[in-house]
Each structure stands twice: as C-alpha cells, then as structure tokens.
Structure 1
Amino acid sequence: MKYVTFEVRGRIQAGIVVDDRIVGLHEASNGRIPEDLLVIVQNYDCYKPLIKDVQHAGYKIEDVKLLAPLPRPASIRDFYAFEEHVVTARGKRGLGVVPEWYEIPVFYFSNHHAVKGPGDLIKRPDSCKKLDYELEIACVIGKEGRNIKANEAAEYIFGYMIMNDWSARDLQAKEMKVGLGPAKGKDFATSFGPYLVTNEELPTKEERLNLEMEAFVNGERCSSGNARDMYYSFGQIIEQASRDVTLYPGEVIGSGTVGSGCILEQTGRNWLSPGDHVELSITQLGKLLNVVGEEDENGLL
C-alpha cells in the first residue's frame, strides 16, 4: 500500500493511493482515522482494519499537493551503508576507508524539523557554494523495539520512501575537521516522498531490496545504482540503531548514499545552483522532484 500526506482546499491529511487517485483516510472513514500519518503509523494495529474498509473514491492525483509522507517524523537517523559511495567519496578527499567502517554500520542524527516534500523549494544556505544532492532510500519504523536482531528487523519496518539528504559540502567539510558533524552541512533540508510504501509490496533479493535508484539534474541522468548493493542490510542497520536503545514507530532510518549518488563522487560536474531541478527515482517508490532556490540575508528567496 502507498501512503501519502497531501493538501487539498487548504486541508492537510493522510491518504492512500488507489490507481490514479488519492483517498483521504480521515474523510473516507468519517473521522475515525486521524489526519496525521505519523499518528496512524504509531497506532497502526488500531487503524489498519479501518483503512481496509474505506471507500475508494477520493481525488485525482493532479488535483492535490503531495507533501512529505511524514512531514515531522519522530527522528531521522542516516547511515553510511553503501561501500562504493564511501570508497569514492573518501577517495576524492585523499582518504582511505577506515577499518572500523567494515566492523559496524554508523549513522548521524539529522534535523527532523527541516523535512521537505515533493515540489518543495530547497533553499541553498547563504554561505554555501557547494550544494549537493544525495540519492538514498529510507525505511520508517512501524513497531516499538529494542535490541532487535537483524533477522527479525523486517517485522519492525512499516515501509520505505525516497530520501534526498541535501548536503552543503563546503560547510560540512569545514565543521567535520573539528571532529563533529555534519551538523550545519545537513541541517537545512531533507526531502522525503512522494509515497511511503509498505514493505510487503517490494521485491527483495537475499534480504536486500532489489530496487533501481536514479538521480537526474535538469533532466540529465547523473546517478544510477540499486538498493541491493548496500554493504549493510536494513536488518543490520536496525540491529545497530536499536542496540541498547528503543526505536519507536515513526522514526526514519536512511541508507546513506548509493554509489554514484551525489555530485561529490563525480568528476567535472558542477555543484547545484538556484533554478536546478533535481529528481530522484526509485523503482516502485516513485519520483521525488525538488527545485533549488537561494536564501538571502533575511531568509527569503
């Protein structure tokens, strides 16, 4: 099932995609299902039977504005799980891969209050001259758990969505010299969408998702990979994230960047500029398009 958050006639609510239409769950259930998808995910066992019973009428997709499926997730952890990205990106900076990367999957927390959705303008930070996209896939936790084993992690995943982990490379490089970060290099925006697709709909290969991943800048394909190439599976990632910590429904966990999935890895390609259109595409998860803007001293375009 594909879940969305959408706006129509000034009203924001959760919905599901049925053929080429969006069904508003709150409307279709006569108010029995909440408008907030995060609340639905957090109480899914309660609302799942009601969702199955809703009448499929709804709105044409072109008549609504899709937002990020979870505009305010409970948290965002972003991992570093694709070996090709790690090798290439570090190599561009004259660095090798540290042995510890092969021992444990690592992550950082991102700003869950700076989430953007399909079509949203991404404001390049005022002091940034090296804006980059990052092509990623993210899962959403659907069940509370602690010290989850990798081979049991699938039952804790609600679904998956496209993630663009926007990066101010120059800000990131400077602050990480201090030994912390990426902090302000990632603080301004993370895009999700257009759909949150439940995991039973997606193909797997040896416990890894078999999904083609592509990125386009102004219509030109710049990145291509597959989610199955993750060195660490989502099961291993969730095992690490939940070690001695409780994970809660509505928390987002990113894969990190697929190999070739950012400008940093590419030779001779310009950094993103205002007006650039960046579209990420993942098999069965849809297409996520954003346009780059610029922030002036007053925080406005």
Structure 2
Amino acid sequence: MKWVTYESGSGRHTGILDGDTVRGLRSGVTLLSLIEAGDHALAEAGDTARRAPEEVRSLEEVRLLAPLPRPPSVRDGLCFLDHLRGSNRALGRSEELHPVWSQIPAFYFTNAGSVAGPHDDVPVAPGSRMFDLELEVGAVIGRGGRDLSPATAERHIVGYTLFNDWTARDHQLRDLALGLGMGKSKDSALTLGPALVTVDELEDHRRDGRLALDLSASVNGDELTRGCLDRMDWTFGELLAFVSRGVDLSPGDVIGSGTVPGGCLLEHVRTPDLAQARWLVPGDVVTLRGQGLGQTRQTVVAGADVQPLSSGF
C-alpha cells in the first residue's frame, strides 16, 4: 500500500493512494498511530480504506503532507561512500577515505520538527548563500527493537519514502569546524513523501537481496543525477543494526540512506571558489523521483532574515 497524509476541506486525514485518488480514513487516525499499533492494524486500516473509506478525493483536491509530518525521530546515514568521495573532491580534499568509513556506517540526528511535504515550498536556510538538495531514500521503522542483527534488521522496516536532506553548505563548513557534527546546516528542512510505500509493494524490485530502485534528481527540469538504491555500500540492515546498538528504535522513526552519488550540487562544483558555485536560489524547482516511490516537486523560496549574534553571525 501507499500511505499518505493529506489536508482536504474536511481537515487532515490519513489514507491510501488509489491511482489518481486518495481513499481517506476517519479524522483523527494518523499513520503514526497505525504503525505503532502493529502490522495487523495497518493492514486492516488499508482494507477499510479500500472497502469503506470516509472520503474519496482526487489528488488535485488535496494537499499532500509528509506521510509522517512529525516522526518520533529522524536519523540520516551516509551509506553511499562515492557521495563522500565526490564531496571531498569538490572541497579539494583527498578522495581516499579514512579506514573508519569501512568499519561503521556514519549517521547523525536531524530535525524531526522541520519535515516538509512533497510539494511544499522550501525556504532557504536563514543566512545561507550555498543552499543544496540531497537525493535520498528514508526507511520507516514499523516494529521497534534494540541491538538488531544486520541479517534481520530490515524486517523492522514497514516501508520507504523519498527523503530530501536540504543542506546549507556554508553553515555546514562552520558546523564541521566546531568538531561536534551537523547542526544548523541540516536544521531548516527535510522532505518526506509523497507516500510511505510499504515493503510488500516493493518486493518485485529486490535484486540479490537488495532493493534496486532507480532514483533521480533534477533542478529546473535538468537532471542532476541518476542512481540506484542497491548501490549502497552499507545496507539498511547494517545501518539499522549499528543505529540500534544499545538504543531502542521506535515505530515511526525515519532512517535516511544518505545521498545517492551525484545527488547534490556540491558534488558538481567545478570551481575552486565554493561561494561562486551554482547553489539553489529562490525560484528553483527541485524534483526527486524514485521507482515505486513517486515524485516530490518543490520550489525554493526566500528564507527568513538572520537575527545576528553579538559576533555578527
């Protein structure tokens, strides 16, 4: 099933996509509550939406929100190491990676309170002149767990969604200089959607045990990159196993794959002066596509003014 959260004339609803229509459940039922109630609850709700929906509306009549507008938490991995190599190249650094990158999958916590829907406008992060997109896939936890095994951790995933990890590269350079990891550079927005596509819907795309979903990103209609999810150096099973060491994963948690190689503007920098590179500006239209996952299409708009600190920043 393809689960969506949407707004219509009768308020906010959860429902399933059925071609060009949405079949909605009664008001008050959220996708998170269904996931928390377990696989049977989600399946039964899907059957209800098919047989006896509260409402049926065309996609043109509704505003799609993120399928999980406020997940319990969002972590983002870095599972495509060629993305890191490409970013290092753009920054004038060595493409040879430290051995630790092949020992554990990197991840960080990002802002679960800044989730945007698949067609929402995205403001430039305040003060940023180097605003970027990142093409990713998010795995959504269905069944919680701790200390998961890499061999079985993917069984805890209920479904997948497109994930755009919007990044202020100029803020990121300051974040990294502090040595404490990602902060304001990743704080302003992340996109999930258009739907949470349940695992069973995607099984036909599995190849050699991995989901082989074609993915692409474009800016103003010009394709930036094209890749495939099965090229991850760290699998979702390995990522979830590492993330869950000594920590409970909860239903509804979102875990990002990391950026598909070439799936951000940083990797396409062809000038030694990053400030002169091509970054997103108001009016740009960013589109992500994923085989079986759908499409997000968003316009970048001007962000808020910075309220300066005593230092001037």
Band the TM-score falls in, shorter-chain normalisation: over 0.9
Contact 1:208 1:234 in 2 (8 A): no
Gaps of 5+ in 2: 271-276, 308-313
How many Å apart are 1:46 and its aligned residue?
3.1
Whether the 8 Å contact between 2:150 and 2:237 is mirrored in structure 1 is yes
- Note the C-alpha offset of 1:51: 2.7
By how many angstroms is 1:53 displaced? 3.5
1:78 aligns with 2:76: yes
Alignment partner of 1:37 is 2:37: no
Give the whole-Å Cα distance in 2 for the aligned partners of 1:195 and 1:216. 19
- Residues 90 and 97 in structure 1, CA contact (< 8 A), matched pair in contact too: no
Aligned-residue sequence identity (percent) comes to 38
1:296/1:53 Cα in 2 relative to 1: closer, same or farther (>3 Å)? closer
1:189 aligns with 189
User: Residues 1-301 of structure 1: matches in 2 within 5 Å?
Assistant: 1-9=1-9, 11-26=11-26, 34-44=28-38, 45-54=40-49, 55=51, 58-93=56-91, 94-95=93-94, 96-202=96-202, 203-268=205-270, 270-297=278-305
Contact 1:114 1:190 in 2 (8 A): yes
TM-score w.r.t. length of structure 1: 0.93
How big is each residue's C-alpha offset from its partner over 1:238-279, in whole Å with a ceiling of 9 and x where there is no partner?
111111111110000000001111001013461000010000
Whole-angstrom CA distance in 1 between matches of 2:42 and 2:184: 38
The alignment partner of 1:247 has SS state of coil
Paired with 1:174 and 1:298, the residues of 2 have a C-alpha distance of 16
In the superposition, the TM-score normalised over structure 2's length comes to: 0.90
Please tell me whether the aligned partners of residues 125 and 295 of structure 1 are also in contact (alpha carbons under 8 angstroms): yes
Q: Deviations over 1:208-253 (max 9, x none)?
A: 2101110010011011111010001111111111111111100000
Q: 1:47 to 1:2 in 2, by over 3 A?
A: closer
Structure 1 residues not aligned, in runs of 5+: 28-33
Could you tell me whether the CA contact under 8 Å between 1:74 and 1:112 is conserved in 2?
A: yes
CA contact (8 A) 1:13 1:25 kept: yes
How many equivalent pairs are there? 293
RMSD of the alignment, in Å?
1.6
Select between 37-46 and 134-143 the one with higher mean Cα deviation: 37-46
| Cα distance between partner residues in 1 of 2:306 and 2:146 | 44
Compared with structure 1, are the counterparts of its residues 298 and 104 closer, same or farther at alpha carbon in structure 2 (3 Å cutoff)? closer
Question: 1:216 & 1:183 partners in 2: Cα distance?
Answer: 26
- The answer to whether the Cα contact below 8 Å between 2:74 and 2:255 also exists between their aligned partners in 1 is yes
SS in 2 for 1:145: coil
Question: Match of 2:294, as an amino acid?
Answer: G
Measured against aligned partners, the alpha-carbon deviations of 1:84-129 in whole angstroms (never above 9, x if no partner) come to: 1011112222133111001110100000000001221111123100
Letter in 2 for 1:180: L
- The answer to whether the 8 A contact 2:35-2:41 is kept is no
